Amino acid sequence: RLNSAIIYDRDFSYNYFGFKTLERSYLLKINSKVAERPQHMLMRVSVGIHKQDIDAAIETYNLLSERWFTHASPTLFNAGTNRPQLSSCFLLCMKDDSIEGIYDTLKQCALISKSAGGIGLAVSCIRATGSYIAGTNGNSNGLVPMLRVYNNTARYVDQGGNKRPGAFAIYLEPWHLDIFEFLDLKKNTGKEEQRARDLFFALWIPDLFMKRVETNQDWSLMCPNECPGLDEVWGEEFEKLYE
């Protein structure tokens, strides 16, 4: 039934650019050679989603092949394979502010990227530059060197095995003491060891910050190691703790 439901003429509805995109990134390959046609891919995805429900699989196949809708790239990459990871995005917080926490989280990010997932990571719990480290009786190097490690991991562990670049978005709250160095990480100028240009960066801004902007008040920067708890609360509880 599945074979007879495939309408191969629909392959010709793709223009050259569309077909080459499928060939480069979406169609399954064996020994670097394309092993499926676009219609095979769409049927594979449909069966991967609906499993034993053949009628639903054929219905979904027809909707996909007639372009009524499409699925996210990881679904097209992975549905119907032995690693059926279908989600586009994963949101994580740093496990904790320690070597173990940083590298356990890095491993999670690498495994997600391996299966074609994009990552949003909150790093506000990581201690700032110069903060005391009791375990070594030394001082922290701060966010920048750590994020360069994440940057290189995003470059190395691309999504789905060379199908598209790894995508890590890093979120920081604006009370963090390393905020200015964080904002410079994408710049094209400056010292290379202070840059991480392959990551994406965003500020996770609390309402209190905007209230201070409106009233032209000061804004204080803090280290999460010396002022703990700010990264764990929000709303009125955050405002009470911050102030």
pLDDT at residue 115, rounded to an integer: 86
Tell me what the mean pLDDT of segment 224-229 comes to: 94
pLDDT per residue as tens digits for the range 173-217: 999 999 999 999 999 999 999 999 999 999 999 999 999 999 999
Predicted confidence (pLDDT) at residue 220 exceeds the cutoff of 90: yes
- pLDDT tier at 52, thresholds 50, 70, 90: very high
For the cut 90, the answer to whether the pLDDT of residue 116 exceeds it is no
Q: What pLDDT, on a 0 to 100 scale, did the predictor assign at position 1?
A: 85
What's the chain look like in SS3?
CHHHHCCHHHHHHCCHHHHHHHHHHHCCEECCEECCCHHHHHHHHHHHHHCCCHHHHHHHHHHHHCCCCCCCHHHHHHCCCCCCCCCCEEEEECCCCCHHHHHHHHHHHHHHHHCCCEEEEECCCCCCCCCEECCCCEECCCHHHHHHHHHHHHHHCCECCCCECCCEEEEECCCECCHHHHHCCCCCCCCHHHCCCCCEEEECCCHHHHHHHHCCCCCCCECCCCCCCHHHCCHHHHHHHHC
For residue range 74-106, what is the model confidence (pLDDT) as tens digits?
Answer: 999 999 999 888 999 999 999 999 999 999 999
pLDDT > 80? residue 163? no
**Model confidence at 161: pLDDT above 70:** no
Q: What is the pTM of this model?
A: 0.84
Q: What mean pLDDT comes out for the span 115-143?
A: 93
The answer, yes or no, to whether residue 169 has pLDDT greater than 90, is: yes
pLDDT category of residue 166 using cuts at 50, 70 and 90 = confident
